[in-house]
Amino acid sequence: MHIESDIIFATSMQLLEERDRQFLRCALAGVRDPDMIPVLLEQAAVTAQFPWLSDLARLECAIHQAGTASIPQPGTLDSLTINPALRMVPVSWHGLPELLATGSESGAALHPGEEIILVWHTGSEAEILTQPAQPGQLLALKMVAEGITPESAAALHDTPQALFRAALYDATAEGLLLSPPSAIRRRYPEDNGQSARNRPEVEVFTLQWHLTQSCDLSCKHCYDRSQRAVFPLERAHSLLQELCRFCDRRFVRPQVSLSGGNPLLHPHFFDIYQAAAEQGVMTAILGNAAERSTIERLVQIQQPAFYQVSLEGLEQHNDAIRGTGNFQRTVTFLKMLTELGVPNMVMLTLTRGNMDQVLPLARRLEGITDGLTFNRLARFGEGAGLELPTKDEYRRFLEQYLVAAETSPVLTFKDSLINIVLEQNNRPLFGGCTGHGCGAAFNFVAILSDGEVHACRKFPSPIGNIHDQGLEEIYHSSLAEQYRNGSSSCSGCSLQSVCRGCPASAASSGLDPFHDRDPYCFRMW
């Protein structure tokens, strides 16, 4: 079987004179190894005219080999793996990928210089990619090839882990590395192996981390004004390391959503924020309006994934809940966040008293914030005496919300029960409260300032204490498992994977969140 040289080495052959092409075809008669063409080209006189031709042929040979390589399914992997289609081609000329793309010397800035060209694809139908290797890509490949963890690399080079984690994340996103599927995924009694593989994967695990109870506001619906110790700095450092190991073992990315009280009032807030950034942990802030210098300092350390603030309706109603002047101060702050390029959003706690203000507030916030959404009030703490809408009122509100969201640039979805209305309107479902229905003790946990760990911060749901136990132990506790399983009344519902109701709503209505349905669920099934 002869080599299809005009196909495998199309660009190299195209650049040769016809006499040289015929010579090469004769020389290759009976040769089965494509690697021989670059060798023959190095020996041929044509290299005087095209000194880069053998490198180009070597690159075309790698493209052929990469194209015939098969990619394993993620479910067959148990660790980060170098893509078997990847070829690393050392060359002595810059500009060869451009020459391949254009097929002409005039379309490429060819000049001498050593570099490594990466050639790979990510699936049977995927395009074959060809590009000069970047330092981060080579770093990631070396780490996986030699079994080096971000933690050990950081210790060896006295460099923040973030550099090494980012290299691995980026190389995986590019397909140079192949990752096993996320180990955080729903498990239902009726699952079989096929359905488990096909379920959407969790990509991020979040600690909603309440650093302190201290707050510069005194909201009338606050669910917890208890006195708790601030989270100690030393334990914060070790917890971040735990979080990274926890996520590495599950092939998910770690995130901390720093909250309170007002997290910025923690005496070591910036030390903790800096440590999270250096570990390669994504950061978000759930807080109040702050000074411009504070946000600039945040951004200098690490851009937050988002900064969330709260408004409870239009100005008069909001200020009656959150304090005089809060509305205007918060709107000004949102404009400043947008100006500084910090993604931001507004969270509203929904009650009967502000339900009719949500859509007008959305119109007021257009061009000011990236998003507005809501949580239903869970009647605990100061909010226990506030009034909630009836089930029918809430259903009508969701229907109106959904219609308004079709044209609103700021309204976003969070309450899982919105999926009932989407289903009724034959529209695509969304992921629910945390992207996978209720995420309590599933893809997030809440850690309070005194170390208590809760499945969800909206209601008392203790599952351990991080000062006495590790994150792994708490996550695998029987209590955490109960919250992950959700209400037995939702078993069999076809919306279970994106809904599961709200256990905080059930608990605040005196129901059992492990057995009773969300009292606002209006789906008939």
Exposed / middle / buried, residue 82 (Cβ in 10 Å: 0-12, 13-18, 19+): middle
Nearest to 404 by CA among 442, 357, 440, 368: 357
303-346 pLDDT tens trace: 999 999 999 999 999 999 999 999 999 999 999 999 999 999 99
Q: Give φ, ψ of 399 to 5 degrees.
A: -65, -45
Buried b (16+ CB within 10 A) or exposed e, 352-391: ebbbebbbebbebbeebbbbbbbbbbbbbebbeebebbee
250-293 pLDDT tens trace: 999 999 999 999 999 999 999 999 999 999 999 999 999 999 99
350-367 pLDDT tens trace: 999 999 999 999 999 999
Helix (H, G, I), strand (E, B), or coil: what is residue 81?
Answer: strand
137-148 pLDDT tens trace: 999 999 999 999
User: Across residues 517-521, what is the average pLDDT?
Assistant: 96
Distance of CA 112 to the CA centre of its chain: 40
What is the pTM assigned to this prediction? 0.89
DSSP letters for 372-390: EEEEEPP--GGGGGS----
Distance CA 327, CA 321 (A): 10
Buried b (16+ CB within 10 A) or exposed e, 87-109: bebebebbbbbebbeeeeeeebe
Across 111-173, the runs of DSSP E, i.e. the strands, are 111-120, 129-132
Confidence of residue 194 (pLDDT cuts 50, 70, 90): very low
Distance CA 380, CA 248 (A): 35
pLDDT of residue 79: 95
Both structure tokens of 373: 């959404």
pLDDT of residue 44: 59
297-307 pLDDT tens trace: 999 999 999 99
444's enclosing H/E stretch is strand 444-447
Rg, the chain, Cα only: 29
27-71 pLDDT tens trace: 666 656 666 666 666 665 555 677 888 888 889 889 988 988 999
pLDDT at 189 over 70: no
DSSP letters for 262-303: -GGGSTTHHHHHHHHHHHT-EEEEE-----HHHHHHHHHH--
Distance CA 505, CA 502 (A): 5
Q: Which amino acid is at 445?
A: V
Which of the pair, 26 or 392, is modelled with greater confidence? 392
Q: Give φ, ψ of 413 to 5 degrees.
A: -105, 135
Across 110-223, the runs of DSSP E, i.e. the strands, are 111-120, 129-132, 177-178, 204-210
Instruction: Rank 117-126, 405-414, 495-504 by mean pLDDT and report only the highest.
Output: 405-414
Distance CA 507, CA 425 (A): 30
- In Å, how far are 71, 163, 276, 474 from 170, measured between CA atoms? 19, 11, 19, 30
198-237 pLDDT tens trace: 456 799 999 999 999 998 887 767 666 678 999 999 999 9
- Residue 5 makes CB contacts below 8 A (sequence gap 6+) with 13, 24, 25, 28, 37
User: Across residues 403-422, what is the average pLDDT?
Assistant: 97
For Cα atoms 238, 239, 245, give the angle at the middle one, nearest 5 degrees: 95
pLDDT of residue 197: 40
Confidence of residue 441 (pLDDT cuts 50, 70, 90): very high
Strands across the sheet containing 372-376? 372-376, 344-350, 307-310, 282-286, 253-259, 204-210, 444-447, 452-454, 462-465
pLDDT at 181 over 70: yes
pLDDT at 98 over 70: yes
Residue pair 229/277 in contact (Cβ under 8 Å)? The answer is: no
* 292-301 vs 326-339: helix crossing angle, rounded to 10: 40
Both structure tokens of 391: 């089930």
Distance CA 461, CA 512 (A): 12
100-154 pLDDT tens trace: 888 776 666 889 999 999 999 998 788 999 999 999 999 999 999 999 999 999 9
Strand 177-178 relative to strand 81-82: parallel, antiparallel, unpaired? antiparallel
Residue pair 334/344 in contact (Cβ under 8 Å)? The answer is: yes
pLDDT of residue 33: 65
Both structure tokens of 504: 């905080």
Which of the pair, 7 or 65, is modelled with greater confidence? 65
156-175 pLDDT tens trace: 999 999 999 999 999 999 99
User: Across residues 14-24, what is the average pLDDT?
Assistant: 67
Residue pair 308/349 in contact (Cβ under 8 Å)? The answer is: no
pLDDT of residue 385: 75
Confidence of residue 191 (pLDDT cuts 50, 70, 90): very low
pLDDT of residue 28: 60
Distance CA 7, CA 185 (A): 45
Across 185-265, the runs of DSSP E, i.e. the strands, are 204-210, 253-259
* 161-174 vs 269-279: helix crossing angle, rounded to 10: 50
Mean residue pLDDT across the chain: 89
- Chain position carrying tokens 């009122």: 393
pLDDT at 21 over 80: no
Query: Could you give the dihedral angle defined by the CA atoms of residues 241, 481, 525 and 517, in that order, rounded to the nearest 10 degrees?
Result: -90
Helix (H, G, I), strand (E, B), or coil: what is residue 153?
Answer: helix
pLDDT of residue 270: 98
